[in-house]
Amino acid sequence: MLRIHCPCCGPRDHDEFRYAGDASVVRPAHDDPDFEAWYRYVYVRANPKGLHREYWQHVHGCRQWLVVERDTATHTIHSVHFAGQQAS
Amino acid sequence: MGSFSAFSLLRHAIGGNRHWQRHWRAASPKPSYDVIVVGGGGHGLATAFYLAENHGIRNVAVIEKGYIGGGNVGRNTTVIRSNYLLDGNTQFYEFSMKLWEGLSAALNFNVMFSQRGQIVTAHSADQMDAFSHRANIMRLNGIDAEILGRDEVRRLVPYLDFSDTARFPIHGAILQGRAGTARHDAVAWGYARAASGHGVDIIENCEVIDFLRKGDRIVGVETTRGRIGAERVGLAVAGHTSVLSRKAGLELPIESHVLQAFVTEPVKPLVDHVVAYGADHFYVSQSDKGGLVFGGNLDGYNSYAQRGNAGVLQEVCEAAVALMPNISRLRLLRHWGGIMDMTPDASPIISLTPVPGLYLNGGWCYGGFKATPASGWCFAHMLATGEVHPLTRGYGLDRFRTGHTLDEAGAGPFAWLQ
Ligand SMILES: Cc1cc2nc3c(=O)[nH]c(=O)nc-3n(C[C@H](O)[C@H](O)[C@H](O)COP(=O)(O)OP(=O)(O)OC[C@H]3O[C@@H](n4cnc5c(N)ncnc54)[C@H](O)[C@@H]3O)c2cc1C
Ligand SMILES: [Zn+2]
């Protein structure tokens, strides 16, 4: 079990959260006609073996969206922020 | 090396089984090969075997960073079936099934392919409709499929929960009689042995760390045991596809996720088929040693750690007991995880790449064991001829650009939900 330190609720088991994937992908603007940008947004993933910035939503807690920085090889969590505060 | 026959088994038995030899040569890398296959899992070994067997290309090396059988080929739950819905998948997996049916003979190695049948339970009238749809597609493609009513299911698998208190009552099931299981290690060993017998070098404990280039062409690999040249390099590294592809400058629609498998203590024969629960994610078969081998969902977040978390264990066991209350007191003997190369449509990639000299076989998700023979067959065709095998036309990398994805589950481009 991962233990995620929610900045709002404190340390909680990860099954209180919903995973929502890579937080480093950039969503193109709605009116962006660039096919390549949309293709990359929907499909291309860096999939690092190592540090990965990823979204988790605390659905069974404060319902905030978080950005968690986690090592995919060891599961060590390096940082947790509110997604809204994340400077990307 | 000797070949297996009733006579050779008897002779070795009389000799106390002390004189068996290694089943494949422990090869050291040569300076260069016609083809290098990176990854000595099922797919890499099968590719090497069919390169030699079907195309006469024997100057081939399989380069494996660990030992043969240490990857997913030795970690999976061994279910083999060909009950896919979408054109492209349906025909490919049925071709694989046909190869399984002749595999022990083709390899002169008993892969213990057991066509015990797979039953997937249905728990609503709608699900029965969906299964009829699936069965019709299978039959139109010449694949065996039967729709069973509740009573027929009960006759075949009376140990499921048919009580009035079942959480999701069983309405019926779909059965593929030719589906089943095989001994996973034997598949790895059998292909390794047969490939080695054809002259293929199987190089274990040798990790590929980078690629050799001439201009933008890949002309070999840099390994922990030195540089090795090759006319063509094929990747078949399952969960590490992204890691190696990135070194070749290739960006992929793949995420690595962990899938777990579980085995109970051995019990007397109980489960004669492969049984899958249609109301949740749980499937089970019984090994020859008596253990119930079962699995369920992915852990659900990117992972390269070959171990799973306890939350999924609990979910899968809850589903197990909902379908089979009689196993609630069995103890779990072992569980483990493997790293899945998940694609956004849960279908595989066997593809030419934009990098000259580099060919890609990956994205096998949680279902690549059953594909092993066909994948090796078709990837060998690609490495030998430079052309896409007709059966794998749907598996190109470009399908994500053109919109021709093969999303059996209709889950959308979220690898962890597939
Ligand atoms: C728990 C579990 C249950 C499953 N159940 C089923 C099932 O019931 N039915 C089914 O059809 N499929 C199932 N699968 C999926 C199936 O096991 C895989 O899709 C398939 O085995 C992957 O192909 P492979 O055998 O070539 O992989 P692997 O055996 O993983 O081979 C890849 C090899 O590449 C090597 N490698 C990686 N990086 C390098 C490098 N840099 N240099 C050299 N070598 C490298 C690895 O060490 C590994 O040996 C399951 C998987 C798991 C984990
Ligand atoms: Zn919270």
* ipTM (interface predicted TM): 0.95
Tokens linked to B203? 């190089």
CA dihedral of residues B316, B318, B319, B324 (deg, nearest 10): 120
CA distance B99 to B74: 20
Looking at the 3D structure of chain A, how many domains does it have? 1
Q: Report whether pLDDT(A88) > 60.
A: no
CA distance B282 to B320: 6
Q: Report whether pLDDT(A87) > 80.
A: no
How large a percentage of chain A has pLDDT more than 90? 93
- Residues B30, B61 contacting (CB under 8 angstroms): yes
Give residue B412's pLDDT: 87
* Ordered DSSP codes for B61-130: EEE-SS-TT-SGGGTS--EE-----STTHHHHHHHHHHHHHTHHHHHTS----B---EEEEE-SHHHHHH
In a domain, A70, yes or no: yes
CA distance B256 to B208: 19
Give residue B358's pLDDT: 98
Q: Which residues of A touch B (CB under 8 A)?
A: 1-2, 13-15, 19, 21-22, 35, 39-40, 42-49, 52, 54, 70, 72-75
In a domain, A88, yes or no: no
The residue written with tokens 């026959």 in the block is B5
- Residues B340, B298 contacting (CB under 8 angstroms): yes
Q: In this structure, are strands A65-71 and A77-82 parallel, antiparallel, or unpaired? A: antiparallel
In a domain, A39, yes or no: yes
In a domain, A87, yes or no: no
Across the interface, of B253, B305, B311, the residue whose CB is closest to A44 is B253
Give residue B174's pLDDT: 98
Average pLDDT, chain B: 96
Cβ–Cβ contact B310 with A under 8 A = yes
Across the interface, of B242, B246, B253, the residue whose CB is closest to A43 is B253
In a domain, A61, yes or no: yes
In a domain, A63, yes or no: yes
Among all bound ligands, the one having the nearest atom to the CA of B37 is 1
CATH code of the domain in which A30 resides: 3.30.2270.10
The residue written with tokens 């595989």 in the block is B348
pLDDT digits (tens, 9 = 90+) for B334-386: 999 999 999 999 999 999 999 999 999 999 999 999 999 999 999 999 999 99
- Find the residues whose C-beta lies inside 6 A of ligand 1: B 38-44, 63-66, 70-73, 75-79, 207-208, 236-238, 240, 244, 259-261, 295, 338, 364, 366-370
Query: Which residue range forms the structural domain that includes residue A36?
Result: 3-82
Cβ–Cβ contact B78 with A under 8 A = no
pLDDT digits (tens, 9 = 90+) for B11-58: 999 999 998 889 999 999 999 999 999 999 999 999 999 999 999 999
Written as one letter, the residue type at B105 is: A
pLDDT digits (tens, 9 = 90+) for B160-198: 999 999 999 999 999 999 999 999 999 999 999 999 999
Q: Report whether pLDDT(A86) > 80.
A: no
Looking at residues B117-133, what average pLDDT do you find? 98
Cβ–Cβ contact B260 with A under 8 A = no
- Residues B308, B337 contacting (CB under 8 angstroms): yes
User: Minimal CA–CA distance to B191: which of B308, B100, B309, B120?
Assistant: B100
Largest CA-CA distance found in chain B, in angstroms, rounded: 70
Record: contact B255-A45, CB cut-off 8 A: yes
- CA pseudo-torsion sign B264, B325, B365, B129: positive
In a domain, A22, yes or no: yes
CA distance B98 to B94: 6
Record: contact B303-A75, CB cut-off 8 A: yes
Q: B240, B252, B304, B397: which to substitute to probe chain A, counting the most A Cβ within 10 Å?
A: B304
The alpha-carbon gap from A85 to the nearest alpha carbon of chain B, in Å, equals 22
